[in-house]
Structure 1
Amino acid sequence: MSLINVSNLTFAYDGSYDNIFENVSFQLDTDWKLGFTGRNGRGKTTFLNLLLGKYEYSGSISAKVSFEYFPFPVEHKEYLTIDVIEEICPDVQQWQFMRELTLLQVSDDVLYRPFESLSNGEQTKVLLAALFLMEDRFLLIDEPTNHLDMEGRQLVSDYLKGKSGYILVSHDRAFLDNCVDHILSINKTGIDIQKGNFSEWWDNKERQDAFELAENDKLRTDIKRLSDAAKRTSNWSHEVEKTKNGTRNSGSKLDKGYVGHKAAKMMKRSKSIEQRQQTAIDEKSKLLQNIESSSSLKITQLAYHKKQLAEFDHVSIHYGERTVCTDVSFVIEQGERIALSGKNGSGKSSLLKLLTGDKISYSGIVRTGSQLKVSYVSQDTSFLQGSLSDYARQHDLDESLFKAILRKLDFARVQFEKDMSSYSGGQKKKVLIARSLSEKVHLHIWDEPLNYIDIISRMQIEELLLEFTPTLLFVEHDREFCKNIATKVIEL
């Protein structure tokens, strides 16, 4: 066991006026299994890069261990997997690596296949196995679940549960709950550490939020009282000064020098009181910060003239000689939220694309209602560029609703002015989801919509869907999201 000490850490990117971190101090134990959570754009990956020494900062980070980042860049993907592993950790014996692969339920034959021929899930597991063979390293594991199906996520989560000494960035609640024993969270006002898994941290956060909301009501009352008092105080000296030009009740003239002196003293006193009141207002206002607030939205979906929107009747999908799914039959009815579930490569995305009009080779029958309007959220976000306002006009969206949904999902107003190509992966996904929820359609089709999206935003998307109740067909590997949202699950 050793400690990682972070003291008075302050960091901002070149050219930015806002600090990502400001005078942050805490300690981490290198034996902990740390889940790392926080809103998109709050600085999770930035903090990992600071640990790796990639940026200059003020303050100090001290540790007796080296840091290693996952995922590794693989320079020669055409090499056999065993050669790729030897490049990453040259001193490791083959039997040690095969032991790790067994724990991850990966067959030994992957060692003698080109790395590029492995599925995304297999590549993730191979690189994780190599990561945990490195000695005297504290591991920084950044979103390992993005290319894993539900079964793969459970396997990797169980694998990590048996390890220690890492920070894990993941937005999958069930995944974190199974394998971490501490939570490192980036909030609006800094970084907190709590013992326990994500659900325990979230319960504590909800209790703290409820307490802060009650305190915020008191603070706002205090701020209003102090502001009113400050206004009254500033009027004192003006009222006294005005009497210089008046008369005494007896009719004799006032001593203007005396009144002026009295007014000056009153002015000095009132300024002192006003300054103390303003200081108190500023101090109380600083406390109104840490609630993740969001406003209610008015979202409506087009009603369809029939109960049934679409049907798959004994559908099989083919890619050349390969059949990826066979004899799939189900109906999509208004108000249903249907999750397609199955391993990677089982044809889930292909079934979705059949409903969007993509030319995919299949047998069987796909029936869609006449004049059915569909909104599709793809896995790919690389095409997003330009301004949000132009994007809203191109898709004939209510721009105020579109941006209100993004605000609810923690988009800062400054992001509205930026080119979408500069957005993070999570922010781009939020743009696609906000667009879909803003469109007047009968059916929403979402293909892994939550990749890269932070946990709190995932929960808010759940709230929107449960309140809005659209008809939805989706593929998603987040177990908690599927459990909370799906009214029906189709297993492939």
Structure 2
Amino acid sequence: MLIIQGKGLSIEIEGHRLFEKVDVDIEKGEKCALFGRNGTGKTTLLRVLKGELEPQEGQLYRGVSAEEWGWLEQKQEERSDMQLLEFVRSASEEMAGLKRELERLQAAMNEQNHSIEDTWEAYSEVYDRYVSRNGYEWERESEECLLRAGLDRQYWDIPFGSLSGGQKTKAQLASLMLQKPEVILMDEPTNHLDQETLMWLEQWLREYSGTVLFVSHDREFMDNVADSVIALTPAGTRKYKGGYTAYKRKKEEELRRQEALYRQQEQEKQHILESIRRYQQWFHVAHAAAGVRNPFYAAKAKKNISRYHAKEKQLERLEANRVEKPREDAGIHVRLEGESFHGDALMRLQQVSFCYDGMPLLFSQINLQIARDERLAVVGPNGSGKSTLLKLLTGELSPTEGEVLRHPKCRIGYFSQELEQLDENEVLLDSMLSIPQMTQTEARTLLGCFLFSRDAVYKRVGALSMGEKCRVAFLRLYFSGAPLLVLDEPTNYLDVDTRERMEAAFERFPGAIVFVTHDRYMLGRMSRRLLLLGRENGQALVYPAGYDEYVKALKEGTFMASGSEAQRRAERSRLEMELSYLIAEPAEDEEEQRRKIVDLKRRLEQLS
């Protein structure tokens, strides 16, 4: 049973055609991902399907009434002053209205400024309606939904607008759970969510009996939730079964078939053109030989001109059914370079602990060495101190205890998730021309590689979208030449195509990378070691393999990270770091150095 159907939908905004010929067919209970590059109109299409916008062309069918639609959007400005608990309950308008009326009438009776009898009668009537609709059960359920979404009672009185990005998303999810709509539209539901909440959300959506249409750049989330993918382009839509991986495989197969068919048609076209040229030449020779009175050559000329016209018709049919040459969509082209670095270690942390003034300890006694080819992912729940740790590496913060030792020749390229290092008043082209010996042609070429072409080069940074600002931040990394990149959520505002291009650039980067990301595809693709934060008593743990191996160990129950096992791993990491530095550093007393090396190796063997 179709619950959403759109035919030939087109939208034009301020004279700009955003998309056209969009077809959408979604079955009852289907979980569908709406996929496309930034700027193709995914959020706009969600608003059209919900009824907030009217398409200029096309027809739209909705199988359920507006009250049965739930909506998780990126911005919630209208209800930002509501306390969290009130925000969650406000999704059920009738019940929330009855609850407010009960509270108002009760307050009026307490004040005794009104006729008690009249107020009591009104209160009794509202109370009966509230109880008949299981109002107190609804109150209990709203609290349960908040707890299930990971929002404890300490947050319930906080205004919605004061919550963090991840908490706002959790609040909207709790509201949807309470509402239980038939159809849920979700715009970037995974933004700002930690790994634990992401896994919970995936499980909840898989078990949800209603229909879900969502926009997300999280490839693993699409794989784990979506039954189908609707690919949106300015020219229309196409639907694919399965999640992102299945979509990508089918898309690549389509492009290969299109490329093969295009080459086949080009060969056939050249063959037809050669035949046309040959018949045309034969016709002229036979026509000249026929003269005025030679019927044999006249018939031969007529035969050749008939063949010539037949080939022309064949060429017309071929052109009418022509397959276009596959074209690569415009995308970022970048190769990040770092200065060559001689030496094994760029940085090391010794017994590093940190806490903000008056706050509990975020993490304690971290021992860590960052090598010149490092690919270290910092992993942990929201609030565990991941961004703080990166700021310790860059020197923006200093540890509460311990020390961060940096190689004197190690420069750091830093990408902050808040992008606060960008000058909002800076004009893109001017900022490039300020680089010594940079010409306007070179500046425009480089900006074009980062998808800033034509008049876009005259934009101020403050006028750019978040995705465009990310590209500007990558441009800064391009010119940093630093042997160590520290990246805090570098792909948050990028579409999947740009994410994959940047991941490829990071993979080719010859230096070291320490990064934080919620993108599990990126974690699996790039990480070689993990630093796990948010553990008991602020303990941190260096896991000696990548994210995929870590997840596999968790699922198989072979990962032990508490108690003596965690201490053993931490001690082994510390001893390995001490050994590597002992071997690398010249010694005044070589005999004493050899003795220490032998002792460290013996202790490492015992730990193994």
TM-score bin (small chain)? 0.7 to 0.9
User: Structure 1 residues 283, 357: CA separation in 2 closer, same or farther (over 3 Å shift)?
Assistant: farther
Please tell me the residue identity of whatever aligns with 1:302. Answer: E
Q: Return the structure number with greater helix share.
A: 2
User: What secondary structure sits across from 1:345 in the alignment?
Assistant: coil
Once the two structures are superposed, residues 57-109 of structure 1 have per-residue CA deviations (whole angstroms, 9 ceiling, x without a partner) of 20111103224432362445444322333444333431221232233233244
Match of 1:160 among 201, 205, 212: 205
Match of 1:352 among 369, 387, 390: 390
User: Structure 1 residues 162, 267: CA separation in 2 closer, same or farther (over 3 Å shift)?
Assistant: same
Q: Which residue of 1 aligns with 2:9?
A: 9
User: Structure 1 residues 268, 391: CA separation in 2 closer, same or farther (over 3 Å shift)?
Assistant: farther
User: Structure 1 residues 395, 441: CA separation in 2 closer, same or farther (over 3 Å shift)?
Assistant: farther
Q: Which residue of 1 aligns with 2:84?
A: 81
Q: Which residue of 2 aligns with 1:69?
A: 71
CA contact (8 A) 2:37 2:495 kept: yes
Whole-Å separation in 2 of the counterparts to 1:230 and 1:194: 38
Whole-Å separation in 2 of the counterparts to 1:158 and 1:212: 34
User: Structure 1 residues 282, 352: CA separation in 2 closer, same or farther (over 3 Å shift)?
Assistant: farther
User: Structure 1 residues 271, 362: CA separation in 2 closer, same or farther (over 3 Å shift)?
Assistant: farther
Please tell me the residue identity of whatever aligns with 1:334. Answer: R
User: Structure 1 residues 6, 157: CA separation in 2 closer, same or farther (over 3 Å shift)?
Assistant: same
User: Structure 1 residues 428, 278: CA separation in 2 closer, same or farther (over 3 Å shift)?
Assistant: farther
CA contact (8 A) 1:377 1:432 kept: yes
- Which deviates more, 289-298 or 75-84? 289-298
Please tell me the residue identity of whatever aligns with 1:81. Answer: L
Please tell me the residue identity of whatever aligns with 1:185. Answer: A
Gap regions ≥5 residues in structure 2: 96-137, 294-299, 534-608
CA contact (8 A) 1:146 1:452 kept: no
Once the two structures are superposed, residues 321-376 of structure 1 have per-residue CA deviations (whole angstroms, 9 ceiling, x without a partner) of 22433322211110111111122222221222234342556432122122322211
Q: Which residue of 1 aligns with 2:504?
A: 463
TM-score (norm 2): 0.67
User: Structure 1 residues 267, 388: CA separation in 2 closer, same or farther (over 3 Å shift)?
Assistant: farther
User: Structure 1 residues 291, 190: CA separation in 2 closer, same or farther (over 3 Å shift)?
Assistant: farther
CA contact (8 A) 2:5 2:61 kept: yes
Once the two structures are superposed, residues 120-173 of structure 1 have per-residue CA deviations (whole angstroms, 9 ceiling, x without a partner) of 322221221112333555221111222212222222222322223221212222
User: What secondary structure sits across from 2:354 in the alignment?
Assistant: strand
Q: Which residue of 1 aligns with 2:239?
A: 193
Please tell me the residue identity of whatever aligns with 2:371. Answer: E
Please tell me the residue identity of whatever aligns with 2:403. Answer: I
Whole-Å separation in 2 of the counterparts to 1:415 and 1:196: 40
Whole-Å separation in 1 of the counterparts to 2:222 and 2:8: 28
Alignment of 1:328-347 (within 5 A): 328-347=366-385
- Which deviates more, 115-124 or 147-156? 115-124
Alignment of 1:90 onto 2:127 = no
Match of 1:120 among 152, 156, 165: 165
User: What secondary structure sits across from 1:457 in the alignment?
Assistant: helix
Percent identity over paired residues? 25
User: What secondary structure sits across from 2:376 in the alignment?
Assistant: strand
User: Structure 1 residues 337, 225: CA separation in 2 closer, same or farther (over 3 Å shift)?
Assistant: same
Gap regions ≥5 residues in structure 1: 256-261
Alignment of 1:50 onto 2:48 = yes
**Paired residues, what number?**
476
Once the two structures are superposed, residues 12-62 of structure 1 have per-residue CA deviations (whole angstroms, 9 ceiling, x without a partner) of 33322xx43332223112421222222222221121122233253201111
Q: Which residue of 1 aligns with 2:356?
A: 319
- Which deviates more, 439-448 or 112-121? 112-121
Whole-Å separation in 1 of the counterparts to 2:43 and 2:311: 46
User: Structure 1 residues 123, 140: CA separation in 2 closer, same or farther (over 3 Å shift)?
Assistant: same
CA contact (8 A) 2:11 2:19 kept: yes
Whole-Å separation in 1 of the counterparts to 2:78 and 2:484: 42
Alignment of 1:421-440 (within 5 A): 423-437=464-478, 439-440=480-481
User: What secondary structure sits across from 2:174 in the alignment?
Assistant: helix
Q: Which has the higher contact order (CA 8 A, sep 6+)?
A: 1
Please tell me the residue identity of whatever aligns with 2:256. Answer: L
Please tell me the residue identity of whatever aligns with 1:70. Answer: L
CA contact (8 A) 2:216 2:222 kept: yes
Alignment of 1:442 onto 2:491 = no
Q: Which residue of 2 aligns with 1:258?
A: none
Match of 1:490 among 506, 531, 545: 531
- Which deviates more, 218-227 or 175-184? 218-227
User: Structure 1 residues 298, 350: CA separation in 2 closer, same or farther (over 3 Å shift)?
Assistant: closer
Alignment of 1:375 onto 2:420 = no
User: Structure 1 residues 351, 15: CA separation in 2 closer, same or farther (over 3 Å shift)?
Assistant: same
User: Structure 1 residues 327, 55: CA separation in 2 closer, same or farther (over 3 Å shift)?
Assistant: farther
User: Structure 1 residues 23, 176: CA separation in 2 closer, same or farther (over 3 Å shift)?
Assistant: closer
Q: Which residue of 2 aligns with 1:171?
A: 217
CA contact (8 A) 1:20 1:43 kept: yes
What root-mean-square deviation, in Å, do the aligned CA atoms of Structure 1 and Structure 2 show? 4.0
CA contact (8 A) 2:21 2:235 kept: no
User: Structure 1 residues 348, 84: CA separation in 2 closer, same or farther (over 3 Å shift)?
Assistant: same
Whole-Å separation in 2 of the counterparts to 1:264 and 1:422: 69
Match of 1:106 among 140, 147, 151: 151
User: What secondary structure sits across from 1:445 in the alignment?
Assistant: strand
Alignment of 1:37 onto 2:35 = yes
Q: Which residue of 2 aligns with 1:259?
A: none
- Which deviates more, 267-276 or 209-218? 267-276
Alignment of 1:18-37 (within 5 A): 19-37=17-35
Whole-Å separation in 2 of the counterparts to 1:390 and 1:85: 47
User: What secondary structure sits across from 1:213 in the alignment?
Assistant: helix
User: What secondary structure sits across from 2:94 in the alignment?
Assistant: coil
Highest CA radius of gyration, 1 or 2? Answer: 2
Residue 216 of structure 1, CA deviation: 1.1
Residue 489 of structure 1, CA deviation: 0.9
Whole-Å separation in 1 of the counterparts to 2:257 and 2:61: 39
Whole-Å separation in 2 of the counterparts to 1:146 and 1:208: 26
TM-score (norm 1): 0.81
CA contact (8 A) 2:414 2:486 kept: yes
User: Structure 1 residues 404, 306: CA separation in 2 closer, same or farther (over 3 Å shift)?
Assistant: farther
User: Structure 1 residues 210, 135: CA separation in 2 closer, same or farther (over 3 Å shift)?
Assistant: closer
Q: Which residue of 1 aligns with 2:403?
A: 365
Alignment of 1:309 onto 2:343 = no
Alignment of 1:183 onto 2:229 = yes
CA contact (8 A) 2:283 2:302 kept: no
Please tell me the residue identity of whatever aligns with 1:352. Answer: L
